């Protein structure tokens, strides 16, 4: 089975703590909401402590055109994406040697926060010495589920081509979608939650000789995956695309939907793979927000301790859309996890949809 060998993350240069973000929101929204002080509690109740952005906070106080925001997206995505690939292939925490760019068979590029044609991975390939025949698979529009979906598609590629080494590169610059004049509660909550982040994972096939360069004694093999789309749920999460950019759609019902929908979905997946939920040792969950994490615990009836890593990532980085689950995965891969342990990966995205992984350390 394909295995994840290395994961690297990159945080953009501007750090904003939650108090700064709260003051920014007070200044922006105070004339629109009579209950602004009550709403501002979301900034603290969400338990996020700080986030990272590609621009300083003053940049967002002035109106920006879609062209200005998307140009900033392309410039930062190329710079930070290149850095994430370099760190992933030269990662001494997970690798005994550097992996040459020429050994990479395919790049799955994941994003939902900007647009580029040629796509970002093509631009990066002009800066790094990948072979010109490297396959490119840009995937757009899966939102928070995108990083997990990228791992699923990489697994399928490595099953088809067992000698392959594949990169999954996730670049999400959520801040650049910010709409200063969108006075909706969805935008208000988004302002309290979303952040920028970039991550890259190396997935290797069975015949890629990964044991020669894998540093850890064990690594997570992706045994099975499942993609699920909830019918008639298009208005739960996503973008409204308008003349001046992307406007966030974010239903207040998301935690409630998770509570009722996730467990049957997970149970069906695990039964199909002859594994019981009680057998799962590690829960590798995309932390959509504190209420989403609480809904995971309630729906799956798991101990809150199983979501600690996800909550820690949320506190330190906020919700970085598709990149967030790779940040969570990296922290599990840094642990010395015993052979045979099971992990369940999960991420939820627009549609409304879910991506599940069954992993086992070998």
**Could you list the pLDDT tens digit for every one of the 362 residues in the chain?**
999 999 999 999 999 999 998 998 888 777 777 778 888 888 888 889 999 999 999 999 888 999 999 999 999 999 999 999 999 999 999 999 999 999 999 999 999 999 999 999 999 999 999 999 999 999 999 999 999 999 999 999 999 999 999 999 999 999 999 888 887 777 878 888 999 999 999 999 999 999 999 999 999 999 999 999 988 888 888 888 888 888 888 777 788 888 888 899 999 999 999 999 999 999 999 998 898 999 999 999 999 999 999 999 999 999 999 999 999 999 999 999 999 999 999 999 998 899 999 999 99
- What fold is seen in the domain 220-361? Peroxisomal Thiolase; Chain A, domain 1 (3.40.47)
Taking alpha carbons only, the member of 344, 348, 357 closest to residue 292 is 348
Q: Is 211 a catalytic residue?
A: no
- pLDDT for the residue 260: 84
- pLDDT for the residue 306: 96
Q: How many CA atoms lie within 13 A of 54 on its CB side?
A: 27
Catalytic residue among 144, 158, 200, 204: 144
Contact 201, 4 (CB under 8 A): yes
- pLDDT for the residue 255: 80
- pLDDT for the residue 104: 98
Taking alpha carbons only, the member of 51, 50, 44, 38 closest to residue 12 is 51
Domain ranges of the chain: 3-212, 220-361
CA torsion, points 123, 57, 7, 237, in degrees to nearest 10? Answer: -90
Three-state DSSP string of 221-285 = EEEEEEEEECCCCCCCEEEEEECCEEEEEECCCHHHHHHHHHHHHHHHHHHHCCCCHHHCCEEEE
Domains 3-212 and 220-361 share a fold: yes
| CATH no. for 3-212 | 3.40.47.10
Exposure letters 60-99 (e unless 16+ CB within 10 A, then b)? beeebeeeebbebbbebbbbbbbbbbbbbbebeebbeeeb
DSSP-derived pairing of the beta strands 353-361 and 220-229: antiparallel
- pLDDT for the residue 239: 84
- pLDDT for the residue 171: 98
* Residue 139 DSSP SS3: strand
């Amino acid at each position: 089975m394909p295995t994840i060998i290395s994961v690297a993350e990159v945080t953009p240069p501007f750090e904003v703590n939650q108090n700064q973000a709260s003051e920014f929101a007070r200044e922006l929204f105070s004339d629109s909401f009579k209950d602004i002080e009550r709403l501002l509690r979301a900034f603290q109740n969400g338990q996020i402590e700080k986030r990272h952005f590609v621009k300083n906070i003053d940049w967002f106080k002035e109106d920006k055109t879609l062209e200005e925001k998307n140009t900033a997206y392309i410039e930062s995505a190329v710079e930070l994406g290149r850095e994430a690939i370099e760190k992933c292939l030269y990662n001494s925490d997970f690798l005994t040697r550097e992996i040459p760019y020429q050994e990479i068979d395919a790049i799955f590029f994941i994003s939902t926060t900007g647009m580029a044609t040629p796509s970002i991975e093509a631009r990066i390939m002009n800066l790094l010495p990948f072979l010109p025949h490297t396959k490119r698979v840009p995937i757009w529009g899966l939102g928070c589920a995108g990083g997990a979906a990228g791992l699923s598609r990489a697994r399928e590629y490595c099953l088809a081509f067992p000698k392959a080494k594949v990169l999954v590169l996730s670049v999400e610059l959520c801040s650049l979608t910010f709409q200063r004049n969108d006075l909706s509660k969805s935008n208000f909550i988004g302002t309290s939650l979303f952040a920028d982040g970039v991550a890259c994972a190396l997935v290797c096939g069975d015949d890629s000789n990964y044991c020669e360069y894998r540093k850890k004694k064990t690594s997570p093999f992706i045994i099975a995956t499942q993609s699920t789309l909830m019918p008639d749920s298009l208005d739960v999460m996503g973008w409204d695309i308008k003349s001046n950019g992307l406007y966030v759609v974010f239903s207040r019902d998301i935690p409630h939907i998770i509570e009722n929908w996730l467990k049957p979905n997970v149970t069906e997946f695990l039964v199909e793979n002859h594994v019981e939920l009680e057998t799962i040792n590690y829960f590798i969950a995309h932390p959509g927000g504190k209420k989403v994490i609480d809904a995971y615990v309630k729906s799956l009836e798991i101990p809150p301790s199983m979501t600690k890593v996800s909550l820690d990532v949320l506190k330190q980085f906020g919700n970085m859309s598709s990149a967030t689950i790779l940040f969570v995965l990296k922290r599990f891969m840094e642990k010395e996890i015993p052979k045979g342990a099971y992990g369940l990966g999960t991420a939820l995205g627009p549609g409304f949809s879910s991506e599940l992984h069954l992993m086992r350390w070998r």
